[in-house]
A and B are shown apart, each in its own frame.
Chain A
């Protein structure tokens, strides 16, 4: 899976949790889920669970700790997929 494909999939995963959809217009690899998309911190857990389901990986507590931006998530996903 290419980096671009992962970034696109992440956008689809995040979208249901974004209340103000216009914030998605500026979505890019540097987007911060909480700060830029105003996703509620309790919903970040749902995004992580969705990532686990979508990519068939496990995101452990340590990986979750630093999964705040799209770039962070891509790094975690690529690392897990390469295992």
Chain B
């Protein structure tokens, strides 16, 4: 239903050499690889597409409730439109669409010089209030604390956050699962969450 993912460019640059032989082939379909080839900033395009696939993977896992898998090529980006010139403003926003197994997800990505952050929603799940936030602390507890105070301001402070057996974070009131959804991500210097209200 919903998912989010953050990539810290400093951490990604340190940890991954996407130019390594075979790397792109394991993650991106030929059409996506063409986009990477034909852009001015292939580093940005690689991590933008990666964060889109990761965010949609999390959303899709929540939709179908399956155990973790590793199938980035099953999430195919069919359209991507970027607004705002990155060079002029130092920030850009991209709207994308990803298909997987007959499901369609819409993505919104914000890119700065430091990170790219993507939120994803199943298209039938676009209506309703949602909030996304990037914080400068990658610890799960810090992300939970931040999201919890967000929820306390909007709703109530009696909610608890826990991961379920599939590793999907859920919001509980006592022992009952609430209808609110939260997705977490952390990478390098940053953490992020995406919350439905």
Q: Which residues of B contact A17 (CB under 8 A)?
A: 15
Let me know if B26 and A65 touch, CB within 8 A: no
Contact A46 B71 (CB under 8 A): no
**Cross-chain pair count, CB within 8 angstroms:** 45
Q: Does A40 contact B (CB under 8 A)?
A: yes
In the complex, the answer to whether B70 meets A42 with C-beta atoms within 8 Å is: no
Q: Are B68 and A46 in contact (CB under 8 A)?
A: no
Give chain A interface residues in 38-62, CB to chain B under 8 Å: 40-46, 48-49, 52, 61
- Determine how close the nearest CB of chain B comes to the CB of A29; give it in whole angstroms: 18
Q: How large is the interface on B (under 10, 10 to 19, 20 to 34, 35 or more residues)?
A: 10 to 19
Give which listed residue, A42, A48, A61, contacts B15 with CB less than 8 A: A42
CB-contact partner of A49 in B12, B20, B50, B167, under 8 A: B20
Pair A41/B54 contact, Cβ less than 8 Å:
yes
Q: What residues of chain A have their CB less than 8 Å away from a CB belonging to chain B?
A: 17, 34-35, 40-46, 48-49, 52, 61, 64-68
Q: Which residue numbers of B lie inside 8 Å of A, CB to CB?
A: 12, 15-16, 20-23, 26-27, 50, 54, 68-71, 73-74, 167, 187
A/B interface sample: 21 pairs, CB < 8 A: A34-B68, A35-B68, A35-B167, A40-B15, A40-B16, A40-B187, A43-B15, A45-B26, A46-B16, A46-B20, A46-B23, A49-B21, A49-B26, A61-B71, A64-B26, A64-B70, A64-B71, A65-B70, A66-B69, A66-B70, A68-B70
